[in-house]
């Protein structure tokens, strides 16, 4: 059974507003981390949803990190930014593509007089390059900020050991528990549309028949027909 906590979203509820990214940026800043979002909202043909570190129990990223900046914790894979050398091995090892590389401005450089640093700062010499990954807002009193601010409660922090999951305000505990159980059981979460005869089991919280974007487009089409 999985041991680490992790944050995951249901694409049927996500509206792609990117509020989670803004809250993640703010949380990182307030906790003294590099002020970059630790999750990214993906926009695909079948819907939108944020993706972030799954806190793998076997942690491929931690296993390849040459400095020990990424290491195993009891509840997650933690990142020590101060000893990260920006080698990007973790970005290659991550099976989910959930780790990126970015940089922070260095106080010794006058960026007003050195315009070359404006472009692709994460690749420029003179900038401290480090790995960026979700740390489930470690050190934040109320846990992951993205879970709190999601307007549709599409994001949940799963605790597979204690089952003390962190939920948004607009989802009932029974529906959330069913969603989490299917995830932990390894059932399909996202699948492409298919015929009824061959349609795999998907996860739909509160029995949403379509994504919010799909429902909005349907309403517009009906209005145009009238």
Q: What is the pLDDT of residues 35-74, one digit of tens each?
A: 889 999 988 887 888 989 999 999 999 999 999 999 998 8
At residue 131, the pLDDT reads: 92
Please determine, for residue 193, whether its predicted confidence score (pLDDT) is greater than 70. Answer: no
Is residue 51 left, alpha or beta, with left meaning phi > 0 and alpha meaning psi from -120 to 50? beta
Judge whether 161 and 121 are in contact, CB under 8 Å.
no
Count of residues making up the chain: 226
At residue 25, the pLDDT reads: 92
Q: Comparing C-alpha atoms, which of 47, 30, 6 is closest to residue 136?
A: 6
pTM of the complete model: 0.70
At residue 117, the pLDDT reads: 52
- Provide the pLDDT confidence category of residue 99 given band limits of 50, 70 and 90: very high
- Classify residue 180 by burial, with Cβ atoms within 10 Å: 0-12, 13-18, 19+: buried
At residue 198, the pLDDT reads: 41
Judge whether 87 and 130 are in contact, CB under 8 Å.
no
At residue 160, the pLDDT reads: 87
Judge whether 11 and 41 are in contact, CB under 8 Å.
no
- Provide the pLDDT confidence category of residue 95 given band limits of 50, 70 and 90: very high
């Amino acid at each position: 059974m999985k041991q680490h906590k992790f944050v995951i979203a249901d694409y049927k509820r996500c509206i792609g507003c990117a509020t989670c990214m803004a809250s993640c940026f703010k949380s990182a800043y307030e906790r003294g981390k590099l002020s970059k979002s630790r999750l990214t909202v993906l926009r695909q043909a079948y819907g939108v949803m944020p993706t972030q570190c799954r806190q793998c129990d076997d942690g491929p990223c931690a296993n390849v990190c040459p400095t020990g900046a990424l290491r195993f914790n009891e509840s997650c894979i933690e990142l020590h930014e101060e000893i990260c050398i920006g080698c990007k091995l973790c970005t290659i090892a991550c099976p989910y593509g959930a780790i990126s590389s970015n940089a922070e401005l260095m106080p010794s450089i006058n960026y007003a007089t050195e315009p070359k640093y404006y472009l692709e700062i994460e690749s420029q010499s003179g900038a401290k390059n480090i790995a960026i990954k979700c740390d489930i807002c470690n050190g934040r009193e109320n846990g992951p900020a993205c879970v709190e601010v999601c307007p549709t409660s599409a994001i949940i922090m799963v605790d597979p050991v204690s089952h003390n999951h962190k939920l948004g305000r607009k989802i009932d505990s029974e529906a959330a528990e069913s969603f989490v159980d299917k995830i932990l059981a390894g059932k399909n979460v996202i699948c492409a549309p298919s015929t009824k005869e061959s349609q795999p089991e998907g996860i739909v919280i509160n029995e949403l028949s379509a994504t919010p974007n799909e429902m909005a487009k349907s309403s517009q089409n009906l209005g145009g027909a009238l």
